[in-house]
Amino acid sequence: MVDHLANTEINSQRIAAVENCFGASGQPLALPGRVLLGEGILTKECRKKPKPRIFFLFNDILVYGSIIINKRKYNSQHIIPLEDVTLETLPDTLQMKNRWMIKTSKKSFVVSAASLTERKEWISHLEECIKHLLTKTGRQPCREHAAPWIPDKATDICMRCTHTKFSTLTRRHHCRKCGFVVCADCSRHRFLMPRLSPKPLRVCNLCYRQLLAEEKKEAEADRRQAEPIRSAVGYEPSSGDD
């Protein structure tokens, strides 16, 4: 189906329509060989509360954004390369049913469909596109994923110290490593995680200690690996050398 639709006029018109809905705030989406396969509204678990989002599935990317006027205007465009995506089916909660997680190296989040059938169709089409793309590029599935943020309303107290109670004056913060909701005292540190951002990000105290330990371990491994190299390129000075 992808090969049949690629570079056709109807496909170009559909992609242009999506670009127009995002307007100047969105990035250009038309590329040679790119095909728009489907679209739909899913509920995304956001930090404050679940919100409807428009999703567009292409043969190589997944695009989603906020709905201003359905079928006419969207903003806050996000583009996710499918070769970076892993899916995980999740159990229902009292608030949301037909849930699954979209995991990537930079961001992971939970969405839910209106019905079980709709969830199966989304997951089936996504997995088929991901499999085809990985086969085409020869890449391996992504193994490292960003932790999803736990919604603010999931807890009234810090998930690390378990005694600081959140209020209007006591803000909630999120650890970028584990996604936990934490207080300021439990997330005083920032750590550079290039996979997520070029700037140091807020992390909880526990994750900070773990990240420091991993960094130290990697540095020690690099040092040990470099020692044989330095020995190999070394030399014994001759009697005439100063």
Could you state, in order of their start, the residue ranges of all structural domains in the chain? 3-137, 149-222
Is pLDDT above 80 for 211?
Answer: yes
pTM of the model: 0.81
Distance CA 100, CA 45 (A): 10
Nearest to 110 by CA among 158, 146, 58: 146
Give the chain's mean pLDDT: 90
Cα-to-chain-centroid distance, residue 114: 23
Tell me the three-class secondary structure of 70-137, residue by residue: CCCEEEEEEEEEHHHCEEEECCCCCCCCCEEEEECCCCEEEEECCCHHHHHHHHHHHHHHHHHHHHHH
Q: What topology is assigned to 3-137 in CATH?
A: PH-domain like (2.30.29)
Q: Do the first three CATH levels of 3-137 and 149-222 match, i.e. the same topology?
A: no
8-state DSSP, 28: P
In this prediction, residues 27-46 reach a mean pLDDT of 94
Mean of the pLDDT values across residues 30-34? 92
Is residue 78 within 8 Å of 64, Cβ to Cβ?
A: yes
Which of the pair, 227 or 19, is modelled with greater confidence?
19
Task: Dump pLDDT digits (tens) for 73-95.
Answer: 999 999 999 999 999 999 998 88
Q: Is the pLDDT of residue 237 over 70?
A: no
Q: Give residue-wise pLDDT tens across range 168-184.
A: 999 999 999 999 999 99
Burial code (b: 16+ CB inside 10 Å, e: under 16) for 61-96 equals bbbbbebeeeeeebeebbebebbbbbeeeeeeeeee
- 149-222 is classed CATH 3.30.40.10: yes
